[in-house]
Amino acid sequence: MKTLFFTRALFVCLALLGLLMADPALAAKKSVKVGFIGPLTGGVSANGLGGRNSAELAVMERNEDPSAKFLYEFTALDDECKPNIGVQVGTKMGADRKVIGAVTHYCSAVALSVVDIYHRFGLPVIVWGAVQPDITYGNDYPEVMRICGTMINQNEEAAKFMRSQGYKKFAILHDTTDYGKSHKDFFSKYLTENGGEILGVFGVTSDQQDFTAELTKIKSLNPEVIYFGGLTPLGVRIRSQMDKLGIKAQFEGTSGIKSDAFIEGLGKNLAEGSLSFIEGTPTEKLPGGKKFLESYKSRNFSQGPEAYGAFAYAAMVRILDAIEAVGPDRKKVTATLNATKDVDTLVGKVTFDDHGQNIVPAISKYVVQDGVWVLWEDSEYGSGKRRLKH
Amino acid sequence: MRHHPSRDLIIPGPAGCVLMATALLAWSILFLKAEEQIPILVYMISGSLLVLVAALSDLHKSISATISSNESSWDKCMTLTLLALILIFHDDHYTLFLLGTIMVYATAVLGLNVQLGYTGVINFSAASFFGIGSYTAAMSSAAGLPSLPALLLGGIVAALVGCVLLLPVLRTSGHYAALVTMAFALLFRVFLEVNEWFGGPQGIAVAPLTLFGLDFSQDMQLWGIEFSFYVKYDLACLLLLVLAFGFVRRLERSWLGLSMDAVRCDETAGACFGVDIARWKITAFTVGNLLSGLAGALYAMMLAYISPANFAFPDSLLFLSILLLGGMGNNWGVILATVFVVVIPEKFQVIQEYRYLIYAALVLFMILYRPMGLLPRKARNYGRLS
Amino acid sequence: MELFLQFCINGLMLGMMYALVAVGFTLFFGVLDVIVFSHGDTVMIGAFGGLSMYWWLGAVYPGLSLTWTVLWVFLAAALAVTVVGTLVARFLIMPLRKAPPLNTLLATMMLGTVLREAIRLFFPDGSNPKPFPHLLPEWSWQSGSLTLRFDNALLFLSGAVMIVLVHLLITRTRLGMAIRAVAQDEEAAQLMGVNFTMIVLATFALGSVVAAFAGVMNGLYYNEINFGMGLLLGAIGFSAAVIGGLGNIYGAILGGFIFAFLQTLGAVALPFASAYKDVFAFGSVIALMAVRPTGLIAEPSSQRV
């Protein structure tokens, strides 16, 4: 009996080995590791998982490409959106010499805490979702680059646009995370510079359910626009509670609410006319955008790519391209990535400035029209057929 | 009466300690070095099998007898084991960081142990006091205070802030006391996030530890060997842990510890025999917060960057579950459980988004089936003090 | 004046929600002397159960009248939560009855995490917020800055009816008598022929139905539910039950409204920043505990030695 078992086991092993040997591509190519870090558990995990899937998709596609020089191994680590865990996994990735490049971080606080470590270990990373300006501009590290824009660009554009639409009085709501607070700071700055008036600023915690107290106060201030700096879950709650209280003001959000979940969460009618601003050109408008979405769908990920998935994908493609060009060497890959200029990617043309920041050519303005996020210029609002609330 | 086989099986004295420490060291090296999932699993299963065998046979009795009869040699052996681990992994930044985290967390939980394990003072805001230490270190070194005073200040401020909670903590008991500290933990994080003075939600950078002109954040070379900068931090953490451990062990054995036990076991009876309940609760609460604060300050310097997200209510729960897993009141249990809680999720990054679910379920089962923890606290033993 | 009234209405709605959750906490504490911290997440399960039912109804019986839909949604929520609640009681709470209170507290906190993460991972697209359908008539009455909505009034009233029903059940029925007997002295109750296990399970079923109601009410009020909604709701429900005095239903209701009042007051009256409202509310709770260490309506049994 025992011998039979061992014979069988041996046979299975041999068969597996044979399979491995039979695949010439697998045997011939050298394996290279690339990484991804983002929040995979907890409150913002939807974005983290979307980013991870998108980055993994880039690696899968490259591995299916027979002309690729290397076999890429994908490792994803969870930073839980907590700086201490971020330092832990950042150290792990940085210290692992086999990892040549990584696409990292959605949460700004985490990114800020880990940039020193990437510099220390010389690991080139491209930040895919964290938008705090200091991540790139607060240091001179060549290793740290960012493909998404900072919140500076976004809010400058947003403030100017809202003023051009004739709005003057604003009430600001923001969540008290780094994302919401920094958005509030930059938007307030550009709004007052452009002659807008801020009637009140209200901070809310990121797990708050009930906003009726804040909104009632806002209602009595009677603003024309309610600006919300924060992510989709809170955006949905605030917009729907505005309706409950009969607040007629225009709702304006940030990149954090530009997700299908926002419209799904509110329903078509309530979401109608909500505004959002996001860096880069819309995915489906770009060459390869459709292909990306189809390819993503075909892999049956449990979660959609969300707002920043395309950035993670584009960043991973940049890293893979650089490795293909100069080989698996961190220093050379860093230099190649730093020299990125006018490269076509999924999120538009990418150029890194001397801080490694992608100089995003345009901020896209979106408005919800009939249950879809539509680019402002293409929308009936933009053409004057429909009107925002005044 | 049944004959105790353990009496025959005792591995003789200090030599036994050395033997066990060496075995532990070897296993830890193999486990920490392992990166692929299969070896990790193999080491974990073999390790748990060994423990199981020891628990089912009478081996565990002889092991614990050896340890308790040679405590000072066992303490020395374990310190040397940790030292050896630090030196062996001298250029492996990640493992060193994990080791440092373990030691810092263990120090903080030792503080919690004084409160909850010794005295029975419930504290659901351990991570908040840890955080007060971190933020004090960050703010005071930013204001130009040298590292060592900043470190000490971290502990002192944590203890002082704890005094604010003293009145409600003293007056309440059971679930009511749990609520007071829980409310503090929830309040603390929101407070850090909404005010401007402490860096707000995006956090704040912390100056590295600098002692006697030695910058802890630089790698160094000695005798031609590359040492990670974490080696220095780990040595500092080890020093803090050894000091804290020695302190709480002495506390436990002294009459102070005895009074604290009396407070925990039966307040009324204790008070009848002249034990001043309030006094010992205050002492325990303050000493515990002091330790948490010190550990937090050192952790902040090692991390170099802190933010409110590190010190939220779930982190307090993490500290508490470490204490409960290890065995309330048992300091060795605390260290063992810290190793588990810090290392195992890290070694299982492969399960990614399911990590937290599985972690919570494991703790749940642990509480159900081994409510006294991995190493339950034993009755006092004054017989074999060396 | 209108503004003040609006704040009062908001606060009352919020308070009713908190009170319903707090009643569950206090019921469980009454019979078993345990805090079931996962109760907030049970509320979340109720909301998701109701939503699933709504989806199913939409697929199988399109065009069902609103009244029936609401009824079915609530029934499904109650069923889902009762199953979860009694299973938890039988296999987690009862075995832990003799364990130190801290163990139960931590175990139920971990259970809350398990429930939360399970919904996040296994409910379709669970990590994103879900829209909860509008199922109540949306008439509203406006006067200046005051908006009175019929659906809110309906929710508030049915919440009040729910509490009255629980109260009647506890004070007027044989089951209620048995529950009170177990709460007072479990051994004596058993000697008098009360089936202890059954009563505990019945209490958990009762608490679960209230939680399911709170969950559906939450969904109908905010029209949005998410996997994390139970965490803060649980913490607040627990706080409310404790400041009211554990084991006392009136205390729980009082506590719920006090907490809502504190939060609304914090958001409205703090001159510098409304973001401090949770700091203010929880700070007040700590201060309150220092003054009344066993809650506003103290449980008599806490004096036993």
- C138 pLDDT exceeds 70? yes
Q: From start to end of C56-213, where are the E strands? A: 130-131, 140-143, 146-149
Sort out which chain C residues have CB atoms less than 8 A from B168's CB and list them: 286-287, 289-290, 293
- At A36 the pLDDT is 93
Sort out which chain C residues have CB atoms less than 8 A from A213's CB and list them: 7, 10-11, 263-264, 267-268, 274, 277
Give the whole-angstrom CA distance, residue A41 versus residue B223: 44
Sort out which chain C residues have CB atoms less than 8 A from A232's CB and list them: 128-129
B35 to chain A, closest Cα gap in Å:
10
A107 to chain B, closest Cα gap in Å:
9
- Whole-structure pTM value: 0.85
- Assess C36–A contact: CB distance below 8 Å, yes or no: no
- Assess A26–C contact: CB distance below 8 Å, yes or no: no
- At B381 the pLDDT is 62
- Assess B365–C contact: CB distance below 8 Å, yes or no: no
Which of 2.70.50, 2.60.120, 1.10.3430, 1.10.3470 would CATH assign to domain B92-369? 1.10.3470
Each of the 390 residues of chain A gets a pLDDT tens digit; together they read 444 445 555 454 444 444 444 444 455 678 888 999 988 887 778 888 888 999 999 898 888 888 888 888 898 888 888 888 888 889 888 888 888 999 998 888 889 889 988 998 889 999 988 888 888 888 888 889 888 877 788 888 888 888 888 888 899 998 888 788 888 888 998 988 888 888 888 888 877 888 888 888 888 888 889 999 888 888 888 998 888 888 888 899 888 888 777 888 888 888 888 988 887 777 777 777 888 888 888 888 877 777 788 888 989 998 988 888 888 888 888 888 888 888 888 877 788 888 888 887 678 888 888 888 888 888 888 777 777 776
- Helix (H) or strand (E) run with residue A379 in it: none
Q: Which domains does chain C have, with CATH numbers?
A: 2-135+152-303 (1.10.3470)
| Spatial contact of A219 and C2, defined as CB atoms under 8 Å apart | no
Sort out which chain C residues have CB atoms less than 8 A from A46's CB and list them: 127-128
Mutation target for A interface from B299, B317, B353: give the one with most A CBs within 10 A.
B353
Sort out which chain B residues have CB atoms less than 8 A from C121's CB and list them: 353-354, 357
Mutation target for B interface from C286, C296, C297, C304: give the one with most B CBs within 10 A.
C286
Q: What is the pLDDT of residues C224-247, one digit of tens each?
A: 888 888 888 898 999 999 888 888
Query: Is B194's CB within 8 Å of A182's CB?
Result: no
Two tokens, residue B318:
């993490």
Give the whole-angstrom CA distance, residue A60 versus residue A55: 9
Two tokens, residue C161:
């009816």
- Helix (H) or strand (E) run with residue B313 in it: helix B313-326
The domain ranges of chain B are 1-88, 92-369
Q: Which domains does chain A have, with CATH numbers?
A: 29-149+283-359 (3.40.50.2300), 152-279+364-378 (3.40.50.2300)
Strand A144-146 and strand A99-104: the pairing is: unpaired
Query: Is A78's CB within 8 Å of B352's CB?
Result: yes
Residue B345: closest C-alpha in chain A: A78
- The predicted model gives C214-229 an average pLDDT of 87
| Spatial contact of A233 and C129, defined as CB atoms under 8 Å apart | yes
Please, which residues have CB within 8 angstroms of residue C80's CB and are 6 or more apart in sequence? C45, C46, C48, C49, C52, C212
Tally of CA atoms within 13 A in the half-sphere of B122 that contains its CB? 25
Query: Is B360's CB within 8 Å of C238's CB?
Result: no
Q: Report which DSSP code applies to B376.
A: P
Query: Is A112's CB within 8 Å of B203's CB?
Result: yes
3-state class (DSSP) for residue A349: strand
Q: Report which DSSP code applies to A114.
A: H
The closest of A309, A318, A313, A310 to A344, measured between CA atoms, is A318
- Assess A267–C contact: CB distance below 8 Å, yes or no: yes
Query: Is A45's CB within 8 Å of C127's CB?
Result: yes
Query: Is A83's CB within 8 Å of B303's CB?
Result: yes
Mutation target for C interface from A212, A236, A242: give the one with most C CBs within 10 A.
A212
Q: Which of A212, A214, A232 sits opposite C129 (nearest CB)?
A: A232
Query: Is B194's CB within 8 Å of C276's CB?
Result: yes
- At B371 the pLDDT is 78
Q: What is the pLDDT of residues B1-56, one digit of tens each?
A: 444 444 445 556 777 777 777 877 887 777 777 777 777 777 778 777 877 777 77
Residue with tokens 């802030």: B161
- At B286 the pLDDT is 92
| Spatial contact of C95 and C72, defined as CB atoms under 8 Å apart | no
Q: From start to end of chain C, where are the E strands? A: 130-131, 140-143, 146-149, 224-225
Give the whole-angstrom CA distance, residue B157 versus residue B322: 24
Query: Is C273's CB within 8 Å of A264's CB?
Result: no
Sort out which chain C residues have CB atoms less than 8 A from A304's CB and list them: 125
| Spatial contact of C18 and C236, defined as CB atoms under 8 Å apart | yes
C201 to chain B, closest Cα gap in Å:
19
Sort out which chain C residues have CB atoms less than 8 A from A176's CB and list them: 275
Residue with tokens 């159960």: C49
Sort out which chain C residues have CB atoms less than 8 A from A209's CB and list them: 218, 222, 229, 232-233
Mutation target for B interface from C33, C34, C119, C278: give the one with most B CBs within 10 A.
C278
- At A308 the pLDDT is 81
Mutation target for C interface from A172, A214, A216: give the one with most C CBs within 10 A.
A216
The closest of B293, B318, B314, B244 to B138, measured between CA atoms, is B293
Query: Is C224's CB within 8 Å of A244's CB?
Result: no
The closest of A310, B376, A234, A275 to C232, measured between CA atoms, is A234
Residue with tokens 């070194």: B141
Q: Which of A213, A240, A245 sits opposite C222 (nearest CB)?
A: A240
H helix count then E strand count, chain A: 15, 14
- At A24 the pLDDT is 46
Q: Which of B194, B299, B352 sits opposite A76 (nearest CB)?
A: B352
Residue C272: closest C-alpha in chain B: B195
Angle between helix A212-221 and C249-269 (nearest 10)? 30
Query: Is A265's CB within 8 Å of C128's CB?
Result: yes
- Assess A78–B contact: CB distance below 8 Å, yes or no: yes
Q: What is the pLDDT of residues C167-207, one digit of tens each?
A: 898 888 888 888 888 888 888 888 888 888 888 899 899 99
Q: What is the pLDDT of residues C25-78, one digit of tens each?
A: 988 888 888 888 899 999 999 999 999 998 888 888 887 788 888 888 999 999
- Assess B372–C contact: CB distance below 8 Å, yes or no: no
ipTM of the complex: 0.84
Sort out which chain B residues have CB atoms less than 8 A from A81's CB and list them: 309
Sort out which chain A residues have CB atoms less than 8 A from C229's CB and list them: 209
- Assess C123–B contact: CB distance below 8 Å, yes or no: no
3-state class (DSSP) for residue C158: helix
Q: Which amino acid is at C236?
A: I
Residues in chain B where the model's pLDDT stays below 50: 1-8, 385-386
Q: Report which DSSP code applies to A230.
A: S
C169 to chain A, closest Cα gap in Å:
31
B162 to chain A, closest Cα gap in Å:
24
Please, which residues have CB within 8 angstroms of residue C42's CB and are 6 or more apart in sequence? C24, C81, C84, C85, C115, C208, C211, C215, C230
Sort out which chain B residues have CB atoms less than 8 A from C92's CB and list them: 364, 368
Give the whole-angstrom CA distance, residue A23 versus residue A217: 68
- At B297 the pLDDT is 93
Q: Which of B168, B182, B368 sits opposite C235 (nearest CB)?
A: B182
- Assess A300–C contact: CB distance below 8 Å, yes or no: no
Query: Is A181's CB within 8 Å of B200's CB?
Result: yes
Q: How many Cβ contacts (< 8 angstroms) between chains A and C?
A: 105
- The predicted model gives C250-266 an average pLDDT of 89
Sort out which chain A residues have CB atoms less than 8 A from C142's CB and list them: 246
